[in-house]
Structure 1
Amino acid sequence: MAKQTAKTTKRSLEVINTIQKLGGATLEELTDELAISRSAVHLHLRTLLEEGYLTKEGAVYHIGLRFLNHGEYARSRKTAYTLAKQTVTELSDRIDEEVEFVVENDNRGILVHESFHPDSQFPSKERHISDAPTSAGIYYYLHSVATGKAILAEFPDERVEAVLDDWGLPRQTEHTITDRNELIRELEQIRDRGVAFADEEYVDGLREVGRRVTGPDGSVLGAIAIIGPKYRFTDERYTTELPEILTEHVDDLEAEIEESYLDDYR
């Protein structure tokens, strides 16, 4: 049975997503793109504009800054996310590599915190594959990045299947896993060893090591990954040294999260 949704709300969200996808759009462009009447599009635009979710420059509508308020609230409302930000920064400072904290959202991974170390000479994933001015908020398919695979490994089989039914296994590079059975086998290996690897599976030349972050009740809160170029992530550093450092920092983070939960109930 299909879930009941509010059609008007859904249409407004389509308008917002289309404006962002196009990098700004006129009424006429949105009417053509969405294939609905000009008057209906105009009504959505006027409402969103009055509420501050859109801004208008000449004839072109753009995403409004009110979303920034909601995004920052979502990113900081959980103490665990704030603690994860500290871990990302500390870990990046220690190893001079890019570090990310990713959370599952809509059966994909969304980048919540990133620390791109200034001494690193290798551009981040985001600057490789997107024209977006900031990395925070970018979505990843879970099967193609180390954080995503670390999160998937914590899910029961039926949840994994639901993710794959929603998004499939899109190919990012020639190394991306695109076979369900192969992915399921890798998730079993991740459960056994405690860390996930992504070897040029999202961006050519980039390797990742990821580990899930869990709460005191065992639920997965997200995952942290160390990311860097293949020429620096070689042999023992990639397979042993970085996983050990990552595990150490994630274990410390989980202890801090548990302590924060206890403080809330004292």
Structure 2
Amino acid sequence: MHADDSAGSPRRIKSIQTASAILEAIQYLEEPTFTDICNEVDISKGTVHTYLETLENEGFIAKSGTEYQLGVRLVTMGESVRNQTDIYRAGQDEVEKLAEKTGEWVHLTVECQGQEVTLYESSGDRAIAMDYHLRMRESPQYLYHTAAGKAMLACFDRDRVREIVDQQGFVQRTEKTITDLETLFDELDQIQAQGYAVNDEEEVRGMRSVGTAITGPDATVRGAISVTAPTSRLSGDYFESEIPELVMEAANIIEVNLETAGVQKPR
């Protein structure tokens, strides 16, 4: 194993970084072959071959013919991570209830390394775009173009927001996507004042969402909850007041669940 010993930088284990890069390449490439993976990670073929054999032997990846895919061992590990996450345990039922009330998609998300990761989602009886929402679980999203993401950003200090944007950059998904810091900061101020964020076709044309942050007892951001629906249904007072009230109510209940989960039970 090798570590990054460059002056002023934290120590890193090079072999773990390499394994992570290979796993990410397999996740995001479509039916990758050995050559595809070598081209993506830009390390020697011999090194890639050794890592692939090791990862396959450990169950982290699987090979079918000449193509690689992630292994099912990661499924059980992911489930274990989610089940041990406080906000998932505190929020699962509220996500289900909100999806039933609205009939739409409801997502429970967290921030991880400056991006938004879906922990849990539920679809109501009117929910659309099933494939798209299920794919959201497979890759992190940019915080600045989702309602839940912006709600979490609004709770961070501005230096951290700048750091996240510097790391991620602005990617314009639609003509309404925020692409500059000044506009983003203005919107974050508004979100702080009103208590919730909106995504008005900023990620996908024809779709809107409303989200609010979930905070812990120490005011730290624990995650966010959001409702997503087509613009034809999420409009007018329903978009501007009814759904925001329902989302903030659900967030409040999750916060109470988080608070009371830490209270010692009487003997």
Please indicate the TM-score interval, normalised by the length of the shorter structure. Answer: over 0.9
List structure 1 segments (4+ residues) > 4 angstroms apart after TM superposition: none
Aligned-partner Cα distance in 2 for 1:264–1:220: 25
Query: For residue 119 of structure 2, what is the aligned residue in structure 1?
Result: 112
In the alignment, is residue 92 of structure 1 matched against residue 115 of structure 2? Answer: no
- Tell whether the 8 Å contact from 2:87 to 2:223 is kept in structure 1 after alignment: no
Tell me the distance in 1 between the aligned counterparts of 2:68 and 2:265.
43
Structure 1 residue 3: Cα displacement:
2.8
- Give the alignment partner of residue 127 of structure 1, picking from 112, 129, 132: 132
2:10 corresponds in structure 1 to 3
Q: Indicate the RMSD between aligned Cα atoms, in angstroms.
A: 1.8
1:1-266 aligned at under 5 Å gives the runs: 1-120=8-127, 122-124=128-130, 127=132, 134-263=135-264
Q: Is the 8 A contact 1:23 1:62 kept in 2?
A: no
Q: Normalising by structure 2, what TM-score? A: 0.92
Cα distance in structure 1, aligned partners of 2:229 and 2:148: 14
For 1:253 and 1:81, the matched residues in 2 are separated by 9
**CA distance, structure 2, for counterparts of residue 35 and residue 227 of structure 1:** 39
Q: Which whole-Å CA distance do the structure 2 matches of 1:198 and 1:134 have between them?
A: 18
Structure 2 spans left out of the alignment, 5+ residues: 1-7
Is the partner of 1:101 in helix, strand or coil?
A: strand
Contact 1:112/1:137 (CA < 8 Å) preserved in 2? no
Give structure 1 stretches of 5+ with no counterpart.
none
**Residues 8 and 118 of structure 1: CA distance in aligned 2, closer, same or farther (over 3 Å):** same
* Structure 1 residue 134: Cα displacement: 4.7
How far apart are 1:25 and its partner, in Å? 2.3
- TM-score w.r.t. the length of structure 1 is 0.92
Would you say the 8 A contact 1:24–1:63 is kept in 2?
Answer: no
Matches of 1:106 and 1:265, distance apart in 2:
38
Greater alpha carbon shift after TM alignment, 221-230 vs 20-29: 20-29
Q: Which amino acid aligns with 2:230?
A: P
Q: How far did 1:265 drift?
A: 9.6
Give 3-state SS (helix, strand or coil) of 1:136's partner.
Answer: helix
Tell me how far 1:83 sits from its aligned partner.
Answer: 2.0
